[in-house]
Structure 1
Amino acid sequence: MDFLNLFPYSNVLAACGAILGLCFWYYSQAYKYWKNRGIPYVEPEMFFGNTKEFFLMRTPFAQTFEKLYQKLQGHNYGGVFSLLKPILLLRDPELIKNFMIKDFSHFHDRTGVVDKVNNPLSQHLFNLQGNTWRKLRIKLSPTFTSGKIKMMFLLMKECAEEMSEHLKDSAKNGECLEWKDVAANYTTDVIGTCAFGMQFNAIQDPNSELRVLGRKLVGTPTWPKLRTLRRMVVSMFPVLAPLLDAQFPSKAVSDSFLKTVKEIVDLREKNNIKRKDFMQLLIQLKNEGRVEEDNEIMLNGEEQRNGHQKTEVYEDDLKMTDDLLAAQVFVFFVGGFETSSTTISFCLQELAMNPDVQHRLQEEIDSVLRETGGEVTYEAIHKMKYLDQVMSETLRKYPPLGILFRKCTKTYTIPGTEKTIDAGTDVFIPILALHYDPKYFPQPNRFDPDRFREENKNQIPHYAYLPFGEGPRICIGMRFGMVQVKLGLVALLRHYEFKVCEKTNIPLRIDPKSFLTAPLGGIWLQITNRSTPVDQ
């Protein structure tokens, strides 16, 4: 009798064995993808492909692909797998140039998922594809010209000065502070005033509304292992993102953000309130279909003057709806406060660990500000050449986004070969790996701003240094972000010095749970008043 009772369990075990066998066979066939195409590849592990360390949150995303980049040494490109998904990894700057510029028509889309119904904030410029992206990019480009950024300069400057003033007591007492958070308070206030047209006072109140929202968007989840499981499922089946609450941002945050933006737009429109900020430019775009020009426009990744056709630039078949407007404010907020705050804090750590660089930069700041009577102006910021070098080296070591994503939109033959890439294939450009390749940057772990002196930077292959991307999809907010970061650094360094303290993390590690480049454990540094008097 007992023997007979075993049969149902035997059937279950047999069924499970068959399913496992089928899965093994399916994975084995899938992992022959690159081999069947004659493309060099890194041997994958069952189920995880080549991204096990990332999905288990042991290694940051960009560093995972840096290791794969190294394994493909000797090849200009190679195949890897993220779970089951085949990815072409590019290694050669000239080949990268082809993909990003010359053959852009094959790779104009990123790999993001746009879901207008379940996730309205996903339809932002970073995610959008095809014609919709092109039309919106052309419409938004005039909002990020030098003239428009200069228009917002005073708003940013007020936030920088407020941050500096707020730190007086801390400097007097020589306190050790966590600078990622301090910088995020500053950049949150900048984005608050330039994007929302509102004072959120994050510098004075770190628990202000917008600052709390920022932490929710980029903070570590309560259950990181659950996020890992959802991340793996959504990676294979993107349509399940709404069901698993794996969309970014979450539905609760998305609903709150949409409500806030709509209230601000309604208030401005009903009361005819106008400010010199990003929100006003978007409202103008919504109501008039265009933004007033200041004789410059960003087109195809480069600034051109009066050389475009207005009929091409202002296309009326793409309407700036409330949701589309909110999505652009959202990506401006996330990109503006998080990436700039990490850049500021990474830079301060490097300056603290390299006091000779810090003092040299302070001398330049002093010299330029003496010429302006101590006034920080838009022109003064751009005269600081060594500050440019320090920023460039910071972005080399800590690019905010360590990987560029592209999707092949139509069958493509790799230049100089007969190898083809199928439409729909993901293509990754490993920025971090390129930035740490000693072939392009000798002693890559060393912080050396002189790499970017005029006589030296021309020796760097252009497409080996890509902190903001390149080509038509170059970061549209690049110049805004650079001005915001430079203003913050000048406001701090003209008055204060930064030193390592007992809490400083050496060596600095990158958080494996963060998609963007973020420090693990924060950036702790001591702030003191400058030891030499400031003569301005």
Structure 2
Amino acid sequence: MEPWSVTFYIIIMLASVLMYFLRQYTNYWTRRGIPCDTPHFPYGNLDGFKKTHHIRDIVRANYEKYKHTGPFGGFFFLLRRSVIIYDLDLAKNILIKDFNNFSDRAFFHNERDDPLTGHLFALESQEWRQLRNKLSPSFSSGKMKSMFPTVLSVSEKLKNTFDRHLGKDSIIEVKDLLARYTIDVIGRCAFGLECNSLRDPNSEFRAMGVKSCTKSRHGNIIDSFLHSFPKLSKLLRLRQIDEEVHQFYMRIVRETVQYREKNSIKQNDLMNLLIELKNSKQGLSIEEVAAQAFVFLIAGFESSASSMAYALFELALNQSVQDKLRAEINAHFDKNGGVFTYEDMTEMHYMEMVMKEVLRKYLILSHLRRDTKNDYQTSDPKYIIPKGTLVIIPADAYHRDPEIYPDPDKFDPERFSPEEMKKRHPIAWLGFGDGPRNCVAMRFGKMQSYIGLSYLLRNFKFHYCEKTPSPLETDVSVHHFTTKGGIYLRVERI
């Protein structure tokens, strides 16, 4: 037999063996009688992912199809064996009661080679616990109160920027201006820098902020590998953060820390708190300081800006809600002679209801991820989550379930009145996650959103116009939920 033919037969044999094991692997759930759509290499059950479908729509479709079949269903997240949790009691156990078995988020991080990924959101087990304990005091009510004047001053600039734009046209693209606002707030509070994005839309800090949320270091194939096998990717010393973004944020953090320490400068911002941790007995390295400031940026910039934009969009379509919210805002401003206090912000109950409804309809991170440390037996003997399985808690699907929220496309803040909330399962709303790994910066996210919206609604009325998108179109090319194009509204001075 010719050597080439031997090689050919060996290749065929190896391919056949590989196909056999791949078929066995992807038939895992079906063999156990647990519902699972047929996965396809290499995207698993994410057919059309980042091309024609957003991940939230793929996961929601699975939930709607199988939610009455059992506590969870089988799924393949790219090449990784996963489950989607349908039962809210099971979701609560995973997030809270049995948290120790599901404490890790299963996101890529490689703090040695890619230090900006070594942040609180991605770290695991003991590293996460230690860092969370160090950082939690930084987001207490007292610390938020100290940052409050800074956010007020940027919100005043936001109001003035809207006012300047009205001098040209009554139609304003609000999404872009709000992104510039959150960049300026986070630049001041996390990095101690005057970014001036509201004045200069082409500022370097804003450009890098946008790039950090939209540009990856690799293409889709490597990105898929990072998401499917984060631990193996770390062993292979792969990196995720774009090199230009990495160099920019490491440089400005080093320069800021050096300047403040050299000149004994203290400010009421997150950077000051991180420097104090760096110089404490607990200690943070300069790379850890940069990573925490960086995640504060990427978590707060896109999510808060988008949530505020969707709030204005819905308020423009629901004038009675807008009027009621404005009345609450004015009452708080007026009782102190036009001064807005931290205590006022915490007492804005209707604002809370409005923003919970915004996050119900427009959840930025559509699902929560957890890694299974050990085999987990549910209340149904047939349903066991094996060790190493990726757990997907489909928060967006819960938020859009008509059995939980009747008429889910309707914008109705009254869903979050105290009376209505008592009627629902406590896990039915996951705007900031839940359990020990909920959003550590929740108070800050609320603060910058509530203050920014308060300044705008006190001074302007928002209406839909011929350029207002209807419906909003999802950008399927990114992991988090965002919409294509801008959100144009007609704005009127009060």
TM-score class, shorter-chain normalisation, is over 0.9
Could you tell me which amino acid in structure 1 is paired with residue 188 of structure 2?
A: T
Partner of residue 477, structure 2: 513
Partner of residue 360, structure 2: 396
CA contact (8 A) 2:110 2:239 kept: no
Task: Write out per-residue CA displacement over residues 51-77 of structure 1, whole angstroms, 9 at most, x where no aligned residue.
Answer: 0121x5211122211111112121221
Could you tell me which amino acid in structure 2 is paired with residue 213 of structure 1?
A: M
In the alignment, the residues of structure 2 paired with residue 177 and residue 327 of structure 1 have an alpha-carbon distance, to the nearest angstrom, of 35
CA apart distance, 1:12: 7.5
- Indicate which of 291, 296, 321 corresponds to 1:332: 296
> Structure 1 residues 237-246 or 489-498, which shifts more?
237-246
CA apart distance, 1:98: 0.6
In the alignment, the residues of structure 1 paired with residue 224 and residue 291 of structure 2 have an alpha-carbon distance, to the nearest angstrom, of 25
Partner of residue 222, structure 2: 230
- TM-score under structure 2 normalisation? 0.94
Partner of residue 113, structure 2: 118
- Indicate which of 229, 233, 254 corresponds to 2:246: 254
Paired residues for 1:377-392 under 5 Å: 377-392=341-356
Partner of residue 143, structure 1: 138
Partner of residue 207, structure 1: 202
Paired residues for 1:311-350 under 5 Å: 316=282, 319-350=283-314
Residue 440 (structure 2) pairs with residue 451 (structure 1) = no
Secondary structure of the equivalent of 2:431? coil
Paired residues for 1:464-483 under 5 Å: 464-483=428-447
Partner of residue 274, structure 1: 266
Residue 86 (structure 2) pairs with residue 94 (structure 1) = no
In the alignment, the residues of structure 2 paired with residue 11 and residue 354 of structure 1 have an alpha-carbon distance, to the nearest angstrom, of 72
In the alignment, the residues of structure 2 paired with residue 386 and residue 320 of structure 1 have an alpha-carbon distance, to the nearest angstrom, of 40
Task: Write out per-residue CA displacement over residues 20-50 of structure 1, whole angstroms, 9 at most, x where no aligned residue.
Answer: 5344323211112123444332332344321
Query: Identity rate of aligned residues, in percent?
Result: 38
Residue 150 (structure 2) pairs with residue 158 (structure 1) = no
CA contact (8 A) 2:184 2:195 kept: yes
In the alignment, the residues of structure 2 paired with residue 378 and residue 88 of structure 1 have an alpha-carbon distance, to the nearest angstrom, of 42
CA apart distance, 1:407: 0.3
CA contact (8 A) 2:110 2:237 kept: no
Residues 329 and 391 of structure 1: is their aligned pair in 2 closer, same or farther, counting only changes over 3 Å? same
CA contact (8 A) 1:172 1:529 kept: no
- Indicate which of 126, 134, 142 corresponds to 1:131: 126
CA apart distance, 1:13: 6.6
CA contact (8 A) 1:434 1:464 kept: yes
Partner of residue 401, structure 2: 437
Secondary structure of the equivalent of 1:461? coil
| Residue ranges of structure 2 left out of the alignment (5+ in a row) | none
Task: Write out per-residue CA displacement over residues 111-164 of structure 1, whole angstroms, 9 at most, x where no aligned residue.
Answer: 112212220111100011111111111111100011100110000010001010
Task: Write out per-residue CA displacement over residues 294-330 of structure 1, whole angstroms, 9 at most, x where no aligned residue.
Answer: xxxxxxxxxxxxxxxxxxxxxx4xx311111111111
Residue 175 (structure 2) pairs with residue 180 (structure 1) = yes
CA contact (8 A) 2:175 2:305 kept: yes
Partner of residue 294, structure 1: none
Could you tell me which amino acid in structure 2 is paired with residue 518 of structure 1?
A: T
- Indicate which of 151, 161, 168 corresponds to 2:163: 168
CA contact (8 A) 1:171 1:496 kept: no
- Indicate which of 81, 84, 88 corresponds to 2:79: 84
Partner of residue 61, structure 1: 55
CA apart distance, 1:239: 6.9
Partner of residue 321, structure 2: 357
Paired residues, what number?
493
Could you tell me which amino acid in structure 2 is paired with residue 271 of structure 1?
A: N
CA apart distance, 1:252: 2.7
In the alignment, the residues of structure 2 paired with residue 245 and residue 251 of structure 1 have an alpha-carbon distance, to the nearest angstrom, of 15
Secondary structure of the equivalent of 1:87? strand
CA apart distance, 1:339: 0.8
- TM-score under structure 1 normalisation? 0.87
In the alignment, the residues of structure 1 paired with residue 229 and residue 133 of structure 2 have an alpha-carbon distance, to the nearest angstrom, of 32
In the alignment, the residues of structure 1 paired with residue 86 and residue 235 of structure 2 have an alpha-carbon distance, to the nearest angstrom, of 37
Residue 13 (structure 2) pairs with residue 21 (structure 1) = no
CA apart distance, 1:15: 6.1
Secondary structure of the equivalent of 1:99? helix
In the alignment, the residues of structure 2 paired with residue 31 and residue 209 of structure 1 have an alpha-carbon distance, to the nearest angstrom, of 46
Task: Write out per-residue CA displacement over residues 210-262 of structure 1, whole angstroms, 9 at most, x where no aligned residue.
Answer: 101111112367x9xx8323333434554786999984321331122112101
In the alignment, the residues of structure 1 paired with residue 256 and residue 286 of structure 2 have an alpha-carbon distance, to the nearest angstrom, of 11
Partner of residue 70, structure 1: 64
Task: Write out per-residue CA displacement over residues 401-460 of structure 1, whole angstroms, 9 at most, x where no aligned residue.
Answer: 111010011222123435432222110101100100011100001100111112112112
Residues 234 and 288 of structure 1: is their aligned pair in 2 closer, same or farther, counting only changes over 3 Å? closer
Residue 279 (structure 2) pairs with residue 287 (structure 1) = yes
Secondary structure of the equivalent of 1:78? strand
Residues 237 and 418 of structure 1: is their aligned pair in 2 closer, same or farther, counting only changes over 3 Å? closer
In the alignment, the residues of structure 1 paired with residue 90 and residue 26 of structure 2 have an alpha-carbon distance, to the nearest angstrom, of 25
> Structure 1 residues 139-148 or 354-363, which shifts more?
354-363
In the alignment, the residues of structure 1 paired with residue 20 and residue 12 of structure 2 have an alpha-carbon distance, to the nearest angstrom, of 12
CA contact (8 A) 1:372 1:380 kept: no
Q: How well do the aligned residues superpose, as a CA RMSD in angstroms?
A: 2.3
CA apart distance, 1:504: 1.8
Residues 128 and 183 of structure 1: is their aligned pair in 2 closer, same or farther, counting only changes over 3 Å? same
CA contact (8 A) 1:27 1:47 kept: no
CA contact (8 A) 2:107 2:230 kept: no
CA contact (8 A) 1:42 1:72 kept: no
> Structure 1 residues 352-361 or 91-100, which shifts more?
352-361
Secondary structure of the equivalent of 1:427? strand
